[in-house]
Amino acid sequence: MKALHKKLHYISAHQEEFGIEELYALDIFKSFVEMVENTADNCLLESGCKIERDRLHAARFTVAFDLKTRDRLKTVFDFFDRVNARDDIQIDRSLIENFFTVDFDFSKIKDFWVGVDLRRELLESSLDIALTIEDYPEKQEVAIALNGKDLEEDTRTLLVNSSLHMGFDLGFNGKSNIELYPFIKEPEWQRIDIQQRLIQVLSPVALQPLPICKAIFVGISQANSAKKIYYFLKKENFNDLFTYFPANNIARRVHAYYQQKPLIRMAIALLESELQAGTIQRMNLYYHI
C-alpha cells in the first residue's frame, strides 16, 4: 500500500520552517500534489529556495511524476486553469500547447515536473513545467527554435547526448518563456572531446566544482543575461557545498535544515557571471525528497 501524502507533509514542514504565508495558489498546488500522490506510481518532491542577497524566496515547489498520456497532461492543464480563475491573473500556456502537439510521442519523456514559484507580489509568481526528452530529435529542434536563434550555438555545443531537459515558465502576469538545460554527466565530462566542448562555452571557474558533482545542467534562456549553471552534487559531497560555493547565513540555514531530511539528490544553481566576478549574490537551492 502506498504511504500517501508524505509530500504534503514535507511541503507543510518547509512552510513552517521558513515562515511561508498562505500565498495564492499554494493550496491549489497542494491539492494537485495530493492527486498525484493518490494516482501516480512514482512521485518525487522538489523543495526550492531562491536567495537574493538577504532575501529568501522559499515558496518554490515542484512535483515529478510519469507523464505517459494526453489525459494525464490534461490534469496539469486543469490545475493551471484553477490557478488562472482569478480575474487579475493571465497565464499564457500557448508555448506549452505548441510544444505538446497532437502527434506528441509521450514515450519519449524521461521525466516530467510541475511546479510553482509563489511570491507576495502576485504578478511575480509563476507556474512551471519541466521535462526531459530522450531520442526525440524532432522536438529537440522545436525546443531549440523556440529558445531563439542567438542561443543555438551554445546549446548545440553542450548537447553531448540524446537527451534535452527544458523548462516552461508561465508568469501570472501573462509572460511566458522557455529555458533549455543541456546536461552533462560525470562519465561524459571525463572524455577529452567533451572537455573541449565544455571549455568553448563555460569559464574555468564554472568548471572547478565538477569533482563533487555527478551532473551539471547549463540553463540557456532569453530570460537570463548570463548562463545559469546547475550543479547536482554527489550524495557523499552534500556536506561540501559551501567549500566550493561561498554563501551567506540564509543559504547555510536552508542547507542545514535539509541535511536532516531523507534527500535523494540536491543541486545549487548560480549565474556564471557571478562565479566569474567572485561575488555570489544570488543562488537557488533544490532538494529532492
- Nearby residues of 206 by Cβ (< 8 Å), 6 or more positions away: 229, 272, 275, 276
- The separation between the first and the last C-alpha atoms of the chain, rounded to the nearest angstrom, is 19
192 in Cβ contact with 237 (< 8 Å): no
| Buried-state track 49-60, b at ≥16 Cβ within 10 A, e below 16 | bbbeeeebbbbb
Residue with cell 523543495: 47
Q: Indicate left, alpha or beta for 87 from its phi (over 0: left) and psi (-120 to 50: alpha).
A: alpha
Question: Vertex 28, ends 99 and 105: CA angle to 5°?
Answer: 25
164 in Cβ contact with 182 (< 8 Å): yes
Predicted pLDDT at 4: 54
CA 186 → CA 69, 162, 211, 230, 251, distances in Å? 32, 16, 9, 14, 26
Q: Provide the strand spans (E) within 122-273.
A: 126-134, 163-171, 176-181, 183-185, 213-221, 228-233, 265-271
Predicted pLDDT at 1: 35
Predicted pLDDT at 224: 85
Strand partners, 184: 216
228 in Cβ contact with 219 (< 8 Å): yes
Q: Give the length of the chain.
A: 289
**pTM for the structure as a whole:** 0.95
Say how far apart CA 23 and CA 121 lie, in whole Å.
9
CA 185 → CA 147, 194, 235, distances in Å? 23, 11, 15
User: Low-confidence residues of the chain, pLDDT below 50?
Assistant: 1-3
pLDDT in tens, 1-50: 344 569 999 999 999 999 999 999 999 999 999 999 999 888 999 999 99
C-alpha dihedral sign at 183, 131, 10, 285: positive
Q: What is the CA radius of gyration of the chain?
A: 18
Say how far apart CA 58 and CA 268 lie, in whole Å.
14
